[in-house]
Amino acid sequence: MRTSDKILVIGSSGQIGTELVQNLREIYGIDSVIASDVKVTEQAKEGPFEVIDVMNPQGLLEIVKRHQINQVYLLAALLSATAEKMPKFGWDLNMQGLFNVLDLAKEKIIEKIYWPSSIAVFGPNTPKENTPQYTIMEPSTVYGISKQAGERWCEYYFNKYNVDVRSLRYPGLIGWKSAPGGGTTDYAVHIFHEALKSASYECFLSENTTLPMMYMPDAIKATIRIMQADSDKIKIRSSYNLSGFSFSPKDIAQEIKKYIPDFTISFKPDSRQQIADSWPKSIDSIEANKDWGWKPEFDLAAMTADMIKNLKK
């Protein structure tokens, strides 16, 4: 970590950004972390904040230069369910945003990039259990296609232009500090809010749909750890598999019942079921463990206990 690091988080008011900015500010100091989103949000009260449309390279460049930014975390993207509703915009935002940031590093205006990929890079023909780093990848969603293409471009910019870009394939992320938006795994956050509010939840995935998930503190820890690792430790420049734990709606409902005994769940699968059915059930992240020491802390029981404790407050 350089003492002069100046970090820009693009798409900072979303589910990951909200917590990432808080954590980065604890490490680097409030003024060294610039939050940014397409519009002003409550986050602007907490520290430096800029309005940035990542599709506008000139606006982005102006802010990067003004703040002497050397690291960018690019979180602005459309997630799986929303991108299916707006395929062209999903592709444009997810790809053009990435190019605009990669090009800043190619021109040596910034030094380091974090860009999230997802389990959505895998598709219906991928082995579903303990999905390895290198396997069949034929994503069937716009989001997955954009993430897979993005991974290829990240690796290309690293090989061709020596761009220091680092990436993780996030599973579904669960946290209590902010709401998710537009994902297929969002049910795993909504279920807690509804359980505490009304002791019932209607789930948009079927009861046995098992998906890879992760508690937000682990996701933030992995993100900061990969960014702080020495460059020679990062052997994979497309994106690393990242595992936490796996569960189905039925499993999490049973866990919640331990705290809210009269909680009931019903199932009404919608179009997101097809997306979930195309994704792995569990992920093997041996490379992340070998290369930069990844190990998750939370399992389903620990995550549920922590979510309920914090949401009750």
For the annotated catalytic residues, the residue numbers are 143
- Helix (H/G/I), strand (E/B), else coil: 211: strand
- Nearer residue to ligand AKB within complex by CB, 101 or 168: 168
Phi, psi of 163 (to 5 degrees): -80, 125
The rounded distance, in Å, linking the Cα atoms of 307 and 39 is: 28
The rounded distance, in Å, linking the Cα atoms of 192 and 173 is: 13
CA dihedral 229, 114, 72, 148 (to 10 degrees): 160
- Nearer residue to ligand AKB within complex by CB, 56 or 135: 135
Burial letters 96-109, b for 16+ CB under 10 A, else e: ebbbbbbbbbeeeb
DSSP 304: H
- Nearer residue to ligand AKB within complex by CB, 41 or 80: 80
- Nearer residue to ligand AKB within complex by CB, 49 or 279: 279
- 60 forms bridges with which residues in the sheet? none
The rounded distance, in Å, linking the Cα atoms of 259 and 189 is: 16
- Nearer residue to ligand AKB within complex by CB, 75 or 119: 119
Nearest distance from C-beta of residue 81 to ligand AKB, angstroms: 6
Nearest distance from C-beta of residue 59 to ligand AKB, angstroms: 27
- Per the CB < 8 A criterion, the answer to whether 121 and 239 are in contact is yes
Nearest distance from C-beta of residue 130 to ligand AKB, angstroms: 17
- Nearer residue to ligand AKB within complex by CB, 32 or 282: 282
- Per the CB < 8 A criterion, the answer to whether 260 and 191 are in contact is no
The rounded distance, in Å, linking the Cα atoms of 54 and 51 is: 10
The rounded distance, in Å, linking the Cα atoms of 155 and 286 is: 19
Nearest distance from C-beta of residue 282 to ligand AKB, angstroms: 13
Nearest distance from C-beta of residue 271 to ligand AKB, angstroms: 13
Nearest distance from C-beta of residue 233 to ligand AKB, angstroms: 25
The token duo for 99 is 């190019």
The token duo for 187 is 């049910």
Task: Count CB-CB contacts under 10 A for residue 159.
Answer: 10
The token duo for 233 is 């430790």
Binding site for ligand AKB (CB under 6 A): 79-80, 118-120, 143, 170, 172, 183-185
CA angle 232, 20, 295 (to 5 degrees): 55
